[in-house]
A and B are shown apart, each in its own frame.
Chain A
Amino acid sequence: DTAVSQTPKYLVTQMGNDKSIKCEQNLGHDTMYWYKQDSKKFLKIMFSYNNKELIINETVPNRFSPKSPDKAHLNLHINSLELGDSAVYFCASSRDRAYNEQFFGPGTRLTVL
């Protein structure tokens, strides 16, 4: 039973394309996140949703749009992909927005050519 799953695991695409990454958690958690990990392994929060409500929206280009159809799902859509978007994107969830540990998905390695 996978706690936090992401699809696809690998995504290779051309500049200018639009792509989506899906995330699902079966832990019954209220809060979900998207993180970007760059080539130097630096991990940065992008978005967070609590019970389908956007609560954290970092300085991310508006080409990135998260969508949470229900509290078990948080998808990330990226328009007009650029070379600099190449990274590993992690979805995560936590019981709530307070001081609980986050459970991470396996990551999606996005490569923009």
Chain B
Amino acid sequence: AQKITQTQPGMFVQEKEAVTLDCTYDTSDQSYGLFWYKQPSSGEMIFLIYQGSYDEQNATEGRYSLNFQKARKSANLVISASQLGDSAMYFCAMREGGTGGFKTIFGAGTRLFVKA
């Protein structure tokens, strides 16, 4: 069974607009961490934002925020004021606790295209 699901293979957004990239996860652990990474066309993996399962506030990092809905098991990434440089692949990932062996599992990714 898929543990991390990103249902949007590709997304388009107009420059300066906000965009939401969807991520749902599946775990029976109470303790886990959720991450988003960006992979531009140059290939490197860049950490964007982290949300712990016990964090009550949604994480924010600059123009990135994570919309954490624990009951729905969703961890959507919101990018505000999109820029051309935001065009990239975006991966949602989850790290489970003891029963998951602290493995990080990645979703299939969403390719974001920012239009000028």
Contacts and interface: CB of A to CB of B under 8 A. Distances in A.
Interface of A: 33, 40-45, 48, 55-56, 58, 88, 90, 92, 97-99, 101-104, 106-107, 109
A43 B47 contact: no
A38 to B, nearest CB: 11
A102 B89 CA distance: 17
B102 A97 contact: yes
B112 to A, nearest CB: 13
The bracket for how many chain B residues form the interface is 20 to 34
B70 interface: no
Contacts of A40: 108
A44 B108 CA distance: 10
Which residue among A33, A40, A43, A58 has the maximum number of chain B CB atoms within 10 Å of its CB?
Answer: A43
Main secondary structure of the interface of B (DSSP, over half): strand
Main secondary structure of the interface of A (DSSP, over half): strand
A99 B33 contact: yes
A45 B104 contact: yes
B25 interface: no
Nearest to A9: B43
A56 B35 CA distance: 19
A56 B33 contact: no
A102 B44 contact: no
In the A-B complex, the 5 residue pairs with the smallest Cβ-Cβ separation, listed nearest first, are A99-B33, A104-B45, A101-B47, A43-B106, A97-B102
Interface in B69-113: 89, 91, 95, 101-106, 108-109
Contacts of A45: 103-105
A107 B46 CA distance: 12
A103 B47 CA distance: 7
A99 B103 contact: no
A48 B44 CA distance: 19
B64 interface: no
